[in-house]
Structure 1
Amino acid sequence: MTIRLPGADGRLHPYEPRREPLALRPGAPPASRTVLAAAHVVADPCADPSPGAPAALDWDATLAFRRHLWAHGLGVAEAMDTAQRGMGLDWPAAAELIRRSAAEAKAAGGRIACGAGTDQITGGTLAEIRAAYEEQLAVVEESGAQPVLMASRALAGAARGPEDYLEVYGHLLRQSVRPVILHWLGPMFDPALEGYWGSTDLDTAAGTLLELAAAHPGKVDGVKISLLDAGREIALRRRLPPGVRCYTGDDFHYPGLIAGDDHGFSHALLGVFDPLGPLAAEAVRRLDTGDTGGFHALLDPTVELARHLFQAPTRSYKTGVVFLAWLAGHQSHFTLLGGLQSARSLPHLARAYELADRLGLFPDPRLAEARMRTLLTLYGVNP
Structure 2
Amino acid sequence: MNIALKVFWSNQPMTVAEKVKHAPLQIDIPFGVMISHPASGNIGGIHSINGKTGTNIILSADDVRADKAGTAQHVLEQLTQQLESLNASKLDALDYVQHFRGVFSSYAALAEALPTALDGDYAHIDSGSSFDRLLTIWDSSDSRWIVNDVHIASTTDEIAEGSINLYFKSERVRETSLTGLQEQNALEISHTDTVLIALAKLQAQLKATSTVTWLPAATAFTFDENVVTTSLTSWGGTIHLEVAKINGMLWLRGGFTMQSTVTAGYAIFNFKPDWKLLKSFSGNGSAGHIYGIAGSYIYNILSNDSASSGQIRCYSEWDCINTKSAETVRQAILANNQIAPKGYQISLCLGQLIMP
| TM-score (ref. length: structure 1) | 0.15
Return the index of the structure with the highest Cα Rg.
Answer: 2
Which structure shows the bigger proportion of residues in strand conformation? 2
Which structure shows the bigger proportion of residues in helix conformation? 1
Task: Tell me which of the two structures has the higher relative contact order, counting C-alpha pairs closer than 8 angstroms and 6 or more residues apart.
Answer: 1
| TM-score (ref. length: structure 2) | 0.16
